[in-house]
Structure 1
Amino acid sequence: MTRFTIAAAQYPIEALADWDAYVAKLTGWVERAGAGGAALAVFPEYGAMELASLDPATMSDLRGSIATVSALLPQVDALHRELAARHGLHILAASAPFQRADGRFVNRARLFAPNGKVGVQDKLIMTRFEREAWGIHGGAPLRLFETVLGKIGITICYDSEFPLLARSQVEAGMELLLVPSCTEAALGYWRVRLGAQARALEGQCYAVHSPTVGQADWSPAVDSNRGAAAIYGPPDRGFPDDGVVALGEMDASQWVFAEVDLARVADLRADGGVLNARHWAEQPGAQALPAVELVDLR
């Protein structure tokens, strides 16, 4: 499959009355993505932090909320796995703190395939807030996921601002980059947006940006959320002049849909107006790239 529809979420962080409220919310979002024809639904970074509201004792405690959400991940992932199978689509779940065996927490995204397989990508580079205030650590390795839709990479929020990560995925064959984000101010949103667009330009590929939106004053972690979901491509033949394939309304709660055709990625890399992906190697130091682990979700 080279041509399919993607749904990118502008996902609102909300206080939840109970677990059933979360199930109803997530189920409704996935159902609307499926009804819009999506084969891939992309949720944002730290969208799972709304689950901290289920424990009033820790919801307003920065470190305590991490442990609360991490403990719920087995239930959260079981729900995503069931929804992906029921609706026959791939789902990038909203990332969440995950506690490793060594006791440290990482920021983990999970990609669910309809066949039940799951791929995991941890955020590699932490923002100042994550490392200085929240105690979230960088994870590894960098991965590329082979799916029936194509080769999918994930760079979580801040990671998208570091070009060698996505470039390593491009070298491994990436056609589609997912960029889930959580930014409290418009300037943070623009940093991630510009990073996503630059990665689409350099790699001659699609980049899908999904942010959190809305106010959650009860949370010390995700209290303010700004952004607009989008699907970007390289500004070249067959794409819009500005590379913006689809763009949502700033700060609205919504899905943003776009049809993509990964055959265009191959065409541009072979014979585009420019050949950014091929000519990357002509830069001094271009071969100093991190390793990429391939994961088969087919």
Structure 2
Amino acid sequence: MAFIIALAQYPIDALPDWAAYQAKLTHWVEEAAAGGAALAVFPEYGAMELASLDPATAGDLQGSLASVAALMPQVDGLHAELAARHGMHILAASGPVLVDGLYVNRARLFTPDGKASYQDKLMMTRFEAEEWGIAPASAVGSPLRLFETALGRLAIAICYDSEFPLIARACVEAGVQLLLVPSCTDTPQGYWRVRIGSQARALEGQMLVAQSPTIGEAAWSPAVDVNHGAAGLYGPPDGPKGGDWRLPANGVLAMGEMDRAQWLFAEVDLDVVAQLRAHGGVLLARHWERQPGAAPLPVVEVVDLV
């Protein structure tokens, strides 16, 4: 299965009203569709720009959570409509959702035929846990999921989650071929941690990993005030044993320009994943269990979005 993926390098903007957000998102999705994308990926916490719609709470961490969470049903309705209109899968920018009195960081995946599901962030950064009060997925009983889609088997590792190999490994054991990594990092070091983690997960799992970051400055927001990053599509630096082709020597299949608002378009060929796992020069996905101390991981919940 081969298709075009569009990875957003998405700027956080101060928006005057809902119509401005609707126009911005519609324009971004239209650009992705014009580029032939079958899947458009938006970043972690991109939804926090909606806090600007309520100036009274935009500068307050807890107030911004409440104001954005209240808008999420409306946000999801817009994404669902755009996915159907353009015949596209869309991973919406993650944002806060209130579950049983706790805020989680939720990324939602929409299909062209009206189906949808979500992944809540599993691992909290120090800022999220110590200052912002975002709860991990486990606090609300939300599992790690595999999404069976018309494009292939996908999973989502939200930013910091990509830095933990056992999360991605559980996805690999469940059959994931493409890992989506929406990210939000306020320093170049943070960006490189997520990028290095993403490339390591591609290597270990012999799969493709796609990263989409927030970019730019939003001084009005204490949550997403500074954003650095570049989108990238990564794979293992390998090729079939005895084959006449290889993935790039550094594993980078496509790379955006640092800190520039743009879509990064790239071809995703999931047949490559199957070939590498069966015939690669190395077989990391298969040989994982040979490591000292390796053990089977918990079963990932499978969501059918076909």
- Give the TM-score, by structure 2 length: 0.96
| Alignment partner, residue 170 of structure 1 | 172
Amino acid of the structure 2 residue aligned with 1:269: R
Other-structure match for 1:95: 94
Q: Is the 8 A contact 1:165 1:290 kept in 2?
A: no
- State the percentage of identical aligned residues: 70
For 2:64 and 2:257, locate their aligned partners in 1 and report how far apart those are by CA, in whole Å: 30
Q: What corresponds to 1:291 in structure 2?
A: 299
Query: Is contact 2:236–2:251 with CA below 8 Å preserved after alignment?
Result: yes
In the alignment, the residues of structure 2 paired with residue 155 and residue 80 of structure 1 have an alpha-carbon distance, to the nearest angstrom, of 20
Counterpart residue identity of residue 77, structure 2: A
Per-residue deviation, 1:4: 0.3
- Partners of 1:129 and 1:290 in 2: how far apart? 28
Q: Which residue matches 1:208?
A: 210
Aligned to 1:196, the other structure's residue is in SS state helix
Contact 1:214 1:224 in 2 (8 A): yes
Contact 2:174 2:299 (8 Å CA) reproduced: no
Residue of structure 1 equivalent to 2:155: 153
Runs of 4+ in 1 over 3 A off after TM superposition: none
Summarize the alignment of residues 15-54 of structure 1 with structure 2, pairs less than 5 Å apart.
Answer: 15-54=14-53
Which residue in 2 is equivalent to 1:127?
125
Matches for 1:64-143 after TM superposition, within 5 Å? 64-100=63-99, 102-139=100-137, 140-143=142-145
Find the aligned partners of 1:264 and 1:11 in 2 and give their Cα distance: 28
Residue 286 of structure 1: CA displacement? 1.7
| In structure 2, distance between residues paired with 1:144 and 1:166 | 11
In the alignment, what sits opposite 1:257? 265
* Cα drift, residue 288 of structure 1: 4.6
1:284 Cα deviation after fit:
2.0
Whichever residue aligns with residue 272 of structure 1, its letter is: G
Match of residue 243 from structure 2: none
Offset at residue 285 of structure 1 (A): 2.4
Q: Distance in 1 between matches of 2:129 and 2:176?
A: 29
C-alpha root-mean-square deviation of aligned residues, in Å? 0.7
CA distance in 1, matches of 2:298, 2:229: 29
Q: Which amino acid aligns with 2:79?
A: H
Distance 1:290 1:258 in 2: 32
Which segments of 5 or more consecutive residues in structure 1 lack a partner in the other structure?
Answer: none
Alignment of 1:227-246 (within 5 A): 227-237=229-239, 238-246=246-254
1:109 partner letter:
A
Q: Which amino acid aligns with 2:110?
A: F
Residue matched to 2:242: none
Letter in structure 2 aligned against 1:115: D
2:95 alignment partner, SS class: strand
Could you tell me how far 1:291 is from its partner in structure 2? 3.0
SS of residue in 2 equivalent to 1:115: coil
Q: How many angstroms apart in 2 are the aligned matches of 1:198 and 1:24?
A: 37
Q: Give the structure 2 partner of residue 282 of structure 1.
A: 290
> Residue 129 of structure 1 aligns to which amino acid in structure 2?
F
1:199 deviates by 0.5
Q: Tell me the secondary structure at the aligned position of residue 285 of structure 1.
A: coil
State the alpha-carbon separation in 2 of the partners of residues 35 and 270 from structure 1: 35
Q: In structure 2, what is the Cα distance between the partners aligned to 1:95 and 1:288?
A: 29
1:198 maps onto 2:197 in alignment: no
1:94 partner SS: coil
CA-CA distance at 1:287 after TM superposition: 1.4
Tell me what 2:6 maps to.
Answer: 7
- Distance in 1 separating the partners of 2:132 and 2:29: 30
Aligned partners of 2:184 and 2:41: how far apart in 1?
13
Q: How many angstroms apart in 1 are the aligned matches of 2:97 and 2:47?
A: 11
What CA distance in whole angstroms lies between the structure 2 residues aligned with 1:86 and 1:24? 15
Q: Distance in 2 between matches of 1:179 and 1:77?
A: 19
Once the two structures are superposed, residues 131-162 of structure 1 have per-residue CA deviations (whole angstroms, 9 ceiling, x without a partner) of 00000000120000000000001000000000
Distance 2:230 2:30 in 1: 21
Aligned 8 A contact 2:155 2:178 in 1: yes
